[in-house]
RNA sequence: GAGCCGUUAGCUCAGGCGGUUAGAGCAUCUGACUUUUAAUCAGAGGGUCCCGGGUUCGAGUCCCGGACGGCUCACCA
């Protein structure tokens, strides 16, 4: 075996892929990866991680065993009853009255899709599109409705008591007596959170139930009767549902948040009752905010995918989600520039390694999409671009670009570097504009500052064609006149007036590039206040 | 209380299977650039690797115990 081959790579997806391949030896069977999405809320960073990470393992499998077929299922539980209206959807009061119904039967509060979950799935597709992942979205409601789950639902009816025996010890005392693996959908009020099973009849494929349960916003209607559990008239509860999917699709590999460790253990026992084998599991850590608290989806803490995409190239996001899934990682807005710089660093290293033909053990082997820039031959960093943005203002992208290309002409030397630099610029501008700029304190020019500004305006007005050096000299002359002992003191007030910061670029060159006219305008506005 | 995960510089993090003096980036400080208070360059400081035991010639790394932090222990997915 080649010593630089995928079998010797230590990155976690390779380790996982080897674990997976060892499990069924030389089997030629298709390997099934599963990730899940609960469409009772908007997709978020965790959703993305849940699809991305198994796809990393899948990629490693392909590198190690190229002949092995595989598929990645993203299972969408749109049969779930809505328990709470998320804070970030419109028309919340309008949605309120559908609480307790499966999300696939609730109208879209955004008004553009066929259902609540339909909308969330649309958002999910949009979220996943730029990732270029090969995957299949599978809707729970369709699987139930078209009967694909029926054979296993019958099995659940047969193993009813055994499943209950497994579950009951994990429940609170007061809930033990009433628990059932089935949740029928009430034909009268359409709620799924409101039904309670009273009896089950494996031979008829039915359960008896009454609509009397108050849970997750449900308002029981009192209906009672006997209904088939097949064909989408009932669903099974979470841990049983997970087991059912594993059984039906033959899932080999599933990543989940560590909050699901206990669920996975139980579902694993259930899937054995159903004649299946639990998949290889991989619990990953949650994301933390600046204070080290768990990032919440409903509350506005943490960083949203939209923010990521606005402030960082998509590859940097993938890179972030690649690194260290077993470690809780802090993610907050102020840390984004750092993560982007980390990615750029990795990209430079990757390009260098690529030249030596040993790119396999780089995270970028997993992160780069076909259309991603694959090298970055510039020392440009997020912080550098942001500093320049601070100086040049965020409104004029062209000016910034001119400045950067003059700063480092290598940006233009190849297509990949240029595209990456453009992305970097766009992100840094967004970050600066949204996040840093609003926090800047407006500077109140003092008497002396006004004098300095006026003198500079006069000079620039009379000598609009002055060179960078001549402008620099003129500023220094102003300084010499005012502060004979330390002429350099003239600069800070100018930085403050022009760019609201204490330090900045060499002013001569800067003013030349930004054009004297523009600087005159800025100073005059400052004086007018 | 039980289980899982974590704790390395001010911050974010690296440290394959134990091996020399524990690293990086950012931040901080100093200096240089014959006209800047820099975005450049050079340099510096900064660590009880959470604590205590153990195994070992040798422990940030392995084992045991403890502290601290996070999460889970729901008819939620």
User: Which nt has its C1' nearest the CA of A259?
Assistant: B72
Indicate if the pLDDT at residue A95 is higher than 70.
yes
User: Which nt has its C1' nearest the CA of A474?
Assistant: B35
- The domain limits of chain A are 6-150+238-288, 172-235, 305-439, 447-528
Nucleic strand B under 7 Å from the C-beta of A262 = yes
CA distance A470 to A489: 18
DSSP conformation letters of A148-172: TTHHHHHHHHHTHHHHHHHHGGGS-
Instruction: Provide residues 210-229 of A with CB closer than 7 Å to any strand B atom.
Output: 213, 215-216
pLDDT digits (tens, 9 = 90+) for A454-469: 999 999 998 888 888 8
Considering only CA atoms, which residue is closest to the C1' of nucleotide B75?
Answer: A179
Instruction: Provide residues 234-253 of A with CB closer than 7 Å to any strand B atom.
Output: 237-239, 241
CA of A435 to C1' of B27 (A): 19
User: How many Cα atoms occupy the beta-carbon half-sphere of A21 within 13 Å?
Assistant: 22
pLDDT of residue A346: 83
Q: Do domains A6-150+238-288 and A447-528 have the same CATH topology?
A: no
Of the candidates A189, A205, A82, the one whose C-alpha atom is nearest the C-alpha of residue A149 is: A205
pLDDT of residue A148: 96
CA distance A363 to A52: 13
pLDDT of residue A495: 82
Mean pLDDT of A101-111: 95
- Please list, residue by residue across A301-325, b when 16 or more beta carbons sit within 10 angstroms of its beta carbon and e when fewer do: ebbbbebbbbbbbbbbbbbbbbbeb
To the nearest 10 degrees (0 to 180), the angle between helices A336-355 and A415-431 is 170
User: Which nt has its C1' nearest the CA of A486?
Assistant: B36
Considering only CA atoms, which residue is closest to the C1' of nucleotide B72?
Answer: A259
CA of A408 to C1' of B55 (A): 56
Whether this model's ipTM surpasses 0.85 comes out as no
Nucleic strand B under 7 Å from the C-beta of A384 = yes
Residue A56 burial (10 A CB sphere; 0-12, 13-18, 19+): buried
Nucleic strand B under 7 Å from the C-beta of A510 = yes
Q: Would the CA dihedral through A127, A72, A233, A257 be positive or negative? A: negative
3-state helix, strand, coil in chain A (%, to 5): 50, 10, 35
pLDDT of residue A338: 82
**Which run of H or E residues covers position A123?**
helix A116-128
CA of A319 to C1' of B11 (A): 20
Residues 6+ apart with CB under 8 A from A432: A386, A389, A390, A394
CA distance A161 to A167: 10
CA of A515 to C1' of B61 (A): 58
Nucleic strand B under 7 Å from the C-beta of A202 = no
Are the CB atoms for A230 and A150 separated by under 8 Å?
Answer: yes
Are the CB atoms for A227 and A245 separated by under 8 Å?
Answer: no
**Beta carbons within 10 angstroms of residue A474's beta carbon:** 21
Nucleic strand B under 7 Å from the C-beta of A503 = yes
DSSP conformation letters of A212-255: ----TT------EEEEESSTTSEEE-HHHHHHHHHHHHT--EEE
Instruction: Provide residues 5-44 of A with CB closer than 7 Å to any strand B atom.
Output: 10, 36, 38, 40
CA of A490 to C1' of B37 (A): 10
User: Which nt has its C1' nearest the CA of A183?
Assistant: B75
CA of A27 to C1' of B5 (A): 33
Greatest mean pLDDT among A126-135, A332-341, A349-358 lies in A126-135
CA of A35 to C1' of B42 (A): 51
Q: Which residue has the higher pLDDT, A354 or A310?
A: A310
- The structure's pTM equals 0.88
pLDDT digits (tens, 9 = 90+) for A331-353: 778 788 888 888 888 888 787 76
Nucleic strand B under 7 Å from the C-beta of A170 = yes
The domain defined by A447-528 folds into Arc Repressor Mutant, subunit A (1.10.10)
Q: Domain A6-150+238-288 carries which CATH code? A: 3.40.50.620
- Token duo for residue A24: 């069924």
CA distance A127 to A131: 8
Instruction: Provide residues 85-124 of A with CB closer than 7 Å to any strand B atom.
Output: none
Instruction: Provide residues 305-364 of A with CB closer than 7 Å to any strand B atom.
Output: 323-324, 326-330, 335, 338-339, 341
Indicate if the pLDDT at residue A179 is higher than 70.
yes
pLDDT digits (tens, 9 = 90+) for A26-52: 677 899 999 989 898 888 888 888 899
pLDDT of residue A1: 36
Instruction: Provide residues 411-470 of A with CB closer than 7 Å to any strand B atom.
Output: none
Which positions of strand B lie within 7 Å of protein CB atoms? 3-7, 11-14, 16, 25-27, 35-41, 69-77
């Amino acid at each position: 075996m080649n010593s630089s081959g995928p079998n010797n790579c230590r990155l976690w997806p390779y380790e996982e892929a080897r674990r997976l391949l060892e499990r069924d030896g030389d089997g030629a069977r298709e390997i099934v990866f599963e990730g899940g999405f609960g469409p009772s809320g908007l997709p978020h960073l965790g959703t993305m991680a849940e699809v991305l990470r198994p796809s990393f393992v899948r990629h490693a499998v392909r590198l190690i065993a190229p002949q092995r077929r595989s598929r990645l299922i993203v299972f969408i539980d749109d049969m779930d009853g809505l328990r709470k209206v998320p804070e970030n959807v419109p028309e919340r009061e309008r949605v309120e009255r559908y609480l307790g119904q499966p999300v696939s039967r609730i109208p879209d509060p955004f008004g553009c899709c066929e259902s609540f979950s339909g909308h969330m799935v649309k958002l999910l597709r949009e979220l996943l599109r730029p990732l270029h992942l090969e995957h299949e979205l599978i809707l729970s409601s369709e699987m139930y409705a078209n009967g694909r789950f029926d054979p296993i639902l019958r099995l659940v009816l047969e193993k009813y008591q055994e499943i209950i025996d497994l579950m009951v010890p994990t429940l609170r005392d007061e809930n033990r007596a009433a628990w059932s693996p089935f949740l029928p959908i009430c034909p009268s009020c359409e709620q799924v959170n409101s039904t309670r099973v009273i009896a089950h009849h494996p031979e008829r494929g039915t359960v008896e139930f009454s609509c009397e349960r108050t849970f997750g916003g449900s308002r029981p209607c009192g209906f009672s009767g006997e209904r088939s559990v097949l064909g989408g008239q009932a669903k099974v509860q979470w841990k049983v549902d997970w087991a059912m999917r594993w059984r039906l699709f033959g899932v080999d590999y599933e990543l989940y948040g560590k909050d699901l460790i206990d669920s996975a253990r139980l579902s694993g026992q259930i899937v054995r009752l159903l004649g299946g084998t639990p998949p290889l599991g991989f619990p990953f850590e949650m994301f933390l905010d600046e204070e080290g608290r768990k990032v919440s989806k409903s509350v506005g803490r943490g960083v949203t995918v939209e923010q990521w995409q606005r402030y960082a190239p998509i590859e940097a996001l993938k890179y972030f989600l690649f690194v260290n899934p077993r470690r809780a990682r802090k993610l907050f807005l102020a840390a984004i520039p750092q993560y982007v710089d980390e990615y750029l660093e990795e990209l430079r290293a990757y390009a260098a390694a690529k030249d030596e033909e040993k790119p396999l053990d780089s995270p970028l082997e997993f992160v780069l999409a076909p259309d991603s820039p694959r090298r970055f031959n510039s020392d440009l960093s997020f912080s550098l671009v942001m500093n320049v943005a601070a100086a040049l203002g965020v409104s004029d992208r062209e000016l910034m670009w001119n400045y950067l290309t003059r700063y480092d002409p290598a940006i233009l030397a190849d297509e990949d570097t240029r595209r990456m630099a453009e992305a970097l610029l766009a992100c840094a501008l967004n970050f600066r504009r949204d996040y840093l700029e609003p926090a800047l304190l407006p500077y109140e020019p003092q008497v002396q500052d006004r004098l300095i500004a006026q003198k500079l305006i006069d000079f620039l007005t009379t000598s609009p064609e002055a060179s960078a050096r001549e402008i620099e000299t003129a500023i220094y002359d102003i300084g010499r006149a005012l502060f004979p002992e330390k002429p350099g003191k003239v600069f800070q007030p100018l930085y403050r007036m022009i760019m609201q910061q204490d330090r900045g670029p060499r002013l001569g060159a800067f003013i030349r590039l930004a054009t004297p006219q523009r600087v005159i305008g800025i100073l005059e506005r400052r004086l007018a206040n």
